[in-house]
Structure 1
Amino acid sequence: MKIVAIIPARYAATRFPAKLMQLLEGKTIIRHTYENTVATGLFDEVIVATDSEIIFKEITENGGKAVITKGNHESGSDRIAEVAKEMDVDIIINVQGDTPFVNKGALEKIIKVFEDATVKVASLMQILEEEKYIEDKNYVKVAVDKYMNSLMFSRSVIPYPRNKEIAITYYEHIGVYAFRKDALLKFTEWEVTPLEIAEKIECLRYLENGIPLRMIVVNGIGVEIDTPEDLERASRALKL
């Protein structure tokens, strides 16, 4: 089974422009993500897919592999599909460019679920414990069924704590996806869906077309960089 990692890397992020080129302890966020992905040794190939000459040069001039893609993709999945459609590959891992702490343990877990032939798409999540993050719209929450298949993704608090007498586990969706090639290419054929448009969460397109994501709980994936505050948290984490 051939497995590749493709890292979508858009330069003009809405919430934090040029965030992937921000320095994190002397190295850009995108280089941290790329090099940590390569260092796992899990992939036949690791590629950065970007619309930016700046990011392209950052990777290639430091010994990595990158390709320039179209600039008008609706999502990271659309961007990596442009690259993957011409590749001879079975499983594609979409490692988000803003996950500089990505590690081998987490990626091994997401690859392993494809031993189940019924799994078409998978993703990662971690437990959210601090209330301020549970309520933060920048943290995408996910609710799952008893088989760990996704039921809903939202920037709102899910599940809503109507019953105050029980303990509720909240999961943060981590933007690391894995697809069988045919599922990824089918994603690009579907129109953008209503919930996806409302929430600005691309994986809702799968749910709205009847395909659940198999979710894997991981620990220690670290900080995803969505805001300047996240960058500060990531810097503190590296110094620990």
Structure 2
Amino acid sequence: MAICEQRVAIVIPARYGSTRLPGKPLADIAGKPMVQHVYERAEEVSNAHIVVVATDDERVATAVRAFGGKCVMTSPDHPSGTDRLAEVMGEIDADIYINLQGDEPLVRPSDIEKLASGMLTNKGVNIGTLCHSIGSDEAENPNTVKVVLASNGNALYFSRSLIPYARDGESASYLKHVGVYAYRREVLADYSKLSQPMMEHAEKLEQLRLLSAGYCIRAYEVEPTGPGVDTPECLEQVRAIIAGLPLPAKPTLGEIKLVITDVDGVLTDGGIYYDASGECIKRFHVRDGMGMRLLEESGVRVAVLSGRDSATLRKRVADLGITLCQFGVKDKKKACQQLMAEAGVTAAQTACIGDDSIDLPAFAVCGVSFAVADAPSYVKAAATETLIKLGGTGAFREVADAILFAQNKEAVLGTAEGYANVMAKMAQ
């Protein structure tokens, strides 16, 4: 690797305990653990001096040593990847530390070289990162972090929201933030002393702590990057790319024949009301009920799947004429598979809607998954799509409308004639 005045270290954080994909660093891709793919690409970065994996799990460390890589054991208690990087700084001496995530096996060495070069040639840049342009459809996804830049390339703000917002329908361009960071040593030394601002808590983006503290973050634009590995679906996609195989076809709303919905937090706002005899009242949204019937009468089955059971819930489901249902469910993966079998559909023909961690097993086995707008960020990240509506405010109807439009059945929504064809069996 090249020798220059300033020493550059690439640090690859690799936690074993991923919520969505346990053991992720060791996932096999073309006969190698994923962390090895990232490591080998990092070693191709010509202006870096050392590559090291930072892990809190001996299984990952053993795998790294097996392919001849360098590894540093770190505490399992770090609240962020940057805090983990600061611990590595105590063992690995460098002037610039690049944090390269261990779930990016398609990372381009040239992109990391561009980031390192920007830091090496301009000592006034204390923190660097990457970004690339995206279309408006991807920009509307809150799982995609956007960044807006000043004319000198410094980040003005990072957000899960659509930024900039085209208020009057004007055209706008969008940049996706790529979560690779370069820090000068003194920034990492100060990081743990910084307080977490409101905007970091709200957005769940740790880089906002640095902006709030007055640091400048220089963003270098690169070509669109390959997918990282966040979910089992992402892993299969990356495996296909590395193997040179056609990408697995993604299910579309046009194929959906079954929609499985959670109740509390989706069909209701999550409020549960009790009287002396026990739970008795839930607040449902009338448009969700209409959406269910519109789907059923248009050939798309609806199933209700709840971790709770009550007379109120059963009465609502019966009023809507929904016959596919399971109540008091603890294993939603198994329940979804049973509902698919009962409906005679495949996973690719099934969509599910959820709002919390109990719904993650359902997300994993359904071809398309939706998280309501007020779901936790980690639930949204596991879903295929995030809805605009909050739970209990018409979230199911949002999904129903999208499916009907995708299947060219929008007439039942927007015309008297179309609605008349199904209205005899409608209920709200």
Contact 2:133 2:224 in 1 (8 A): no
- List gaps (5 residues or longer) in structure 2: 1-5, 246-428
Give how far 1:111 is off. Answer: 1.2
Aligned partner of 1:91 among 80, 91, 96:
96
Contact 1:138 1:226 in 2 (8 A): no
Q: Deviations over 1:176-223 (max 9, x none)?
A: 100110011111221233222222211111011011210011115311
Matched, 1:31 2:36: yes
**Aligned partners of 1:165 and 1:138: how far apart in 2?**
24
| Counterpart in the other structure of 1:128 | 134
Give how far 1:19 is off. Answer: 2.3
**Aligned partners of 2:136 and 2:38: how far apart in 1?**
25
Matched, 1:177 2:181: yes
**Aligned partners of 1:110 and 1:197: how far apart in 2?**
27
Q: Deviations over 1:45-97 (max 9, x none)?
A: 11100111111111111110111100010111110110113443111111111
Matched, 1:202 2:206: yes
Matched, 1:117 2:133: no
Matched, 1:227 2:231: yes
Say if 1:39 and 1:86 are closer, same or farther in 2 by CA, change over 3 A. same
| Counterpart in the other structure of 1:146 | 151
Aligned partner of 2:112 among 107, 115, 120:
107
The alignment's TM-score, normalised by the length of structure 1, stands at 0.92
Contact 1:85 1:185 in 2 (8 A): no
Q: Matched residue of 2:175: which SS?
A: strand
Say if 1:43 and 1:51 are closer, same or farther in 2 by CA, change over 3 A. same
Q: Matched residue of 1:216: which SS?
A: strand
**Which runs of at least 4 in structure 1 moved beyond 4 Å after TM superposition?**
none
| Counterpart in the other structure of 2:241 | 237
Which residue type is aligned with residue 123 of structure 2? A
**Aligned partners of 1:192 and 1:12: how far apart in 2?**
24
Contact 1:38 1:46 in 2 (8 A): yes
Give how far 1:105 is off. Answer: 1.2
* Higher relative contact order, chain-length normalized (CA < 8 Å, sep 6+): 1
Aligned CA RMSD, in angstroms, stands at 1.8
- List gaps (5 residues or longer) in structure 1: none
**Aligned partners of 1:232 and 1:136: how far apart in 2?**
21
Matched, 1:218 2:222: yes
Contact 1:10 1:51 in 2 (8 A): yes
Contact 1:11 1:17 in 2 (8 A): yes
Give how far 1:108 is off. Answer: 1.5
Q: Matched residue of 1:137: which SS?
A: coil
Q: Share of identical aligned residues, percent?
A: 38
| Counterpart in the other structure of 1:191 | 195
| Equivalent pairs, count | 238
**Aligned partners of 2:206 and 2:10: how far apart in 1?**
18
| Counterpart in the other structure of 1:14 | 19
